[in-house]
Amino acid sequence: MKAIFISAGEGSRLGNITKDLPKSLVDVNGKSILERQIETFRNNGIKEIIVIIGPNKDKFQLKNIEYVVDKKFHDHEQLGSLMAANKHFQNDVVISFGDVIVDNNIMKQVIESTYDIGVAIDLNWEKKYENRTQHPKSEADLALIKSNKLIKIKKNLNPTENHQLGEFLGIIKLNNVGSKKFLNIFERLNSSHQGEFHNAPSLQKAYLTDMIDELIQVNEVVNPIFVDGVWFEIDTIEDLENIREKIVD
């Protein structure tokens, strides 16, 4: 099993902190965001680590990691960055945003998933937004779930009587079959798709959630991995201050 971290973003919402520093290398009480996440992955048996990097790439100095340079990070968004590591889409793969930190309980639940395409979902997501003013609930990536399948993923979804509603953590687990499906569908899109792509203005400007929506639309089964544990997303100054208060090594 391997892990792929998407760490080619510029992290502009953190202001001067990320002016010359990749967002995933921002310090959280003595360790960077990325270092903490890699440590959790390795504690759970994932030894092969791939990190996709873009701006300020020379700042990445962590050892025993394969770095993939996204040379076109200015031209595309998250999904395009992920595809810079397309050769690694084989066997079991865990894909993670570079600005999230999860605990061992969540990581264990993710790697134990046997779904072809599994998406980490927190059903108790609303608690995370209490007193969180810079990153309101309206910015949460929400998944609508019915009969243990995702049927929609986007911001500003509303709960319904017959569906579950949870937040996407930014982590996907693919087995070998799922890895091939994901890559094949993207390659088909990349060769022919034009115009808007789900909630993005184009395929080049698409996020991972847009690709998940595409998988659902072409009738691939996308299953939720319901997780229970502690996790953080670091998107704003407020988020960073909050996590620094809560994490004590």
Note down pLDDT in tens along the chain; length 249 residues.
999 999 998 778 899 999 999 999 999 999 999 999 999 999 999 999 999 999 999 999 999 999 999 999 999 999 999 999 999 999 999 999 999 999 999 999 999 999 999 999 999 999 989 888 898 899 999 999 999 999 999 999 988 888 999 999 999 999 999 999 999 999 999 999 999 999 999 999 999 999 999 999 999 999 999 999 999 999 999 999 999 999 877
Determine the pLDDT at residue 159: 84
The predicted pLDDT at position 248 comes to: 75
Model pLDDT, residue 65? 97
Q: How far, in Å, CA of 118 to CA of 222, rounded?
A: 6
What is the distance between the alpha carbons of residues 108 and 98, in angstroms, rounded to a whole number? Answer: 18
Residues with Cβ < 8 Å from 59, sequence gap 6 or more?
A: 20, 21, 22, 25
DSSP code per residue over 31-70: EEHHHHHHHHHHHTT--EEEEEE-TTGGG---SS-EEEE-
Is residue 209 within 8 Å of residue 153, measured between CB atoms? yes
Q: Enumerate domains of the chain plus CATH numbers.
A: 2-244 (3.90.550.10)
Residues 229, 109 contacting (CB under 8 angstroms): yes
**pTM check: above 0.75:** yes
- pLDDT recorded at residue 161: 84
3-class DSSP state of 100 = strand
CA-wise closest residue to 141 among 213, 81, 38: 213
Quick one: tokens of 45? 């048996």
